[in-house]
Amino acid sequence: MALIGVQEGSEMELDLRFEAVHEGILVSGSVDVEVVGECGRCLDPLRYGSSVDVQELFYYDAPELAEDEEEDAQRLVENDAIDLEPVLRDAVVTSLPFQPVCREDCQGLCAECGARLEDDPGHQHEVLDPRWAALSGLAGAAATPEAAEPDVKTESDKREES
């Protein structure tokens, strides 16, 4: 699922100019759409208007293409009509942010527990390196009195016991 996009069937406001040029029809102008989605940091819903500039040349005849050019990138006038949908879709989609945010200073969610950092600014977790986990048991054992005094018996102690 995409974080942001234009809902299918939503209204678009077009302000386009169609010009007949030697090679074909030049379409230029702008398209206004409503963008919906969610913040990439805190997952709050987003909804805002976006205006995108459009400019595309629709050729009367397919031009001679160089070997490295893709044929499907060329737009053609077919039966005295042009298809604006791919042009508008490409213009709008490429203008959308890759990681949308509700605001630039959005703190997002805690990576450990998922809590909203905006609601709890001092939120933090004690992070223990798992490589040191085995040594944490030694620190607790050193604090006990038995561990503080090792059980070392001298030769005289051994003779007294017998």
pLDDT score, position 153: 63
Q: N- to C-terminal Cα distance for the chain?
A: 80
Q: Which of 35, 22, 14 is nearest to 84 (CA)?
A: 14
Domain membership of residue 137 as a residue range: 130-156
Residue 112, domain member (yes or no): no
pLDDT score, position 78: 77
Our count of domains for the chain comes to: 2
CA gap 30, 55 in Å, rounded: 8
Residue 161, domain member (yes or no): no
pLDDT score, position 125: 81
CA gap 5, 110 in Å, rounded: 25
pLDDT 10s digits, 92-119: 999 999 889 988 888 888 888 888 888 8
pLDDT score, position 68: 47
78 lies in the same domain as 146:
no
Residue 75, domain member (yes or no): yes
The two structure tokens encoding residue 85 = 């949908």
Over residues 24-43, mean pLDDT: 92
Residue ending a domain, among 43, 69, 95, is: 95
135 lies in the same domain as 78:
no
Global pTM exceeds 0.85 = no
Residue ending a domain, among 95, 120, 140, is: 95
CA gap 86, 31 in Å, rounded: 13
pLDDT 10s digits, 51-92: 999 999 988 877 665 444 554 456 787 777 888 888 888 899
CA gap 17, 31 in Å, rounded: 11
Going from the C-alpha of 9 to that of each of 12, 34, 81, 122, the distances in angstroms are 9, 11, 22, 43
11 lies in the same domain as 82:
yes
Residue 105, domain member (yes or no): no
Residue 46, domain member (yes or no): yes
Residue 162, domain member (yes or no): no
pLDDT score, position 33: 94
Q: Are 58 and 19 in contact (CB under 8 A)?
A: no
